[in-house]
Amino acid sequence: MLRKSLATWPQTLDQTYDRILTAISEEDSEYAMRILQWLTFSARLLSAEEIAEVVAIDVARDPAFDPNKVLGDR
C-alpha cells in the first residue's frame, strides 16, 4: 500500500499544488484563492485570525470589509 501511494505521489511542485487545488470543493474555491493571494503577497506572516478575515474583504464592495463573511468554525 505504501509503494502504491508513493507511486502516485506528485513528482513536481506544480503537480503538488494542482493536486491540492483540485481537491478543494467548488464552494470553497473562491475562499481558497483569496487566501492564497493574500498569503502570496503579504509582507509578513498572517495569523490564523487574519487569514479568517481575508475572505471578508472585497475591494469591489463598499465597504470593502464585511464582518458577516469572516470564516468561523464550520
pTM of the model: 0.67
For residue 73, pLDDT over 70 is answered with: no
Question: What local confidence, expressed as pLDDT, does residue 53 receive?
Answer: 93
Question: What local confidence, expressed as pLDDT, does residue 41 receive?
Answer: 95
Question: What local confidence, expressed as pLDDT, does residue 14 receive?
Answer: 94
Q: What is the pLDDT of residues 3-14, one digit of tens each?
A: 887 888 889 999
> Distance between CA 39 and CA 48 in Å, rounded?
11
Q: What is the pLDDT of residues 16-51, one digit of tens each?
A: 989 988 999 998 998 898 899 999 999 999 999 999
Residues ≥6 apart with Cβ < 8 Å to 16: 10
For residue 74, pLDDT over 70 is answered with: no
